[in-house]
Amino acid sequence: SDLQKQEERGELLQPLVFVLLVLCSVLLYFKVSLMDPGFVKPEEEIKASKSEEQSMVIPQVPSNIKMRRCGYCMVKQPMRAKHCQLCQHCVRRYDHHCPWIENCVGEKNHPLFIVYLSVQLVVLLWGGHVAWSGLYFEQSWDWLQHNIFLLVSFLLIVIFTIVVLLLLVSHLYLISCNTTTWEFMSHHRISYLRHSELENPFDQGVILNLWRFFC
C-alpha cells in the first residue's frame, strides 16, 4: 500500500532510474573490458582489409611510410596500430592500455569506452548529490561518529568524479582532433607523424572527426 502510494506520487521512479544506470554502468564495464579492442590479426587475415585501410589514409600522410612488422608479435602493423606489451597484441588505432578495465582501448571499443565514462559520470554525480543531501553539518564528535561513513563516501565520490570528468573531457578533445592518446603523447617518435608536413594529418574538422568516430 505504501509502495503503491509512492509509485502514484512518482517517488519510486528516481531510485529505479538510478539502479538501472548503475546496472548499465556495470554491464558497459564488463563489455569494454572483455571485448576485442581491435587486435591486429595475422598477416594472411588482414590482406583482405588492406585495400580498405589504404583508402582511408589521409593524403597528407607521406606515401613512403609503409606498414612495418612488429618486433614482438611479428605481424604487419597497419598505420596507427601499436603493440601493447601488457596484452601481448598489436592494437588497431591504439589509444592506451587502461588499468581500470585491464584492457586496451583501441579501434573497436573506444566509442563504447566513451559511453561507459559518460554513464559512469552521471552515476557519480547522482550519487554525490544523494550523499550531499544526506549530510547535515554539526561541530560535534557525536555528529562525526554518526556521519563518518557518509562523509567518506561523499569525498570518494568527489575524487572519482573529478578523475572521470577529466578523462572524459580529454578523450572528447582528442577525438574532436582525430588523434589518440598515444599519438598525442608520442608525436615525436611516430614515423607517420614525424615525417608529415602537418602536425596532425588525420584531422578533418571537428564535426567530421566526431561523426567518423561515433558513427
**Residues with catalytic roles:** 98
C-alpha dihedral, 175 to 76 to 89 to 55, nearest 10°: 30
Which residue's entry shows cell 552515476?
123
Secondary structure class of 208 (helix, strand, coil): helix
Q: Give yes or no for a contact between 180 and 172, defined as CB atoms under 8 angstroms apart.
A: no
How many residues can be counted in the chain? 215
Q: Which helix (H) or strand (E) holds 169?
A: helix 141-176
Q: Which residues contact 147 (CB under 8 A, 6 or more apart)?
A: 135
Question: Between β-strands 96-98 and 89-91, what pairing exists: parallel, antiparallel or unpaired?
Answer: unpaired
CA angle 89, 94, 99 (to 5 degrees): 75
CA angle 187, 104, 72 (to 5 degrees): 75
- CA–CA distance, 67 with 202 (Å, rounded to integer): 17
- CA–CA distance, 4 with 15 (Å, rounded to integer): 15
Q: Which three cell numbers stand for residue 178?
A: 582525430
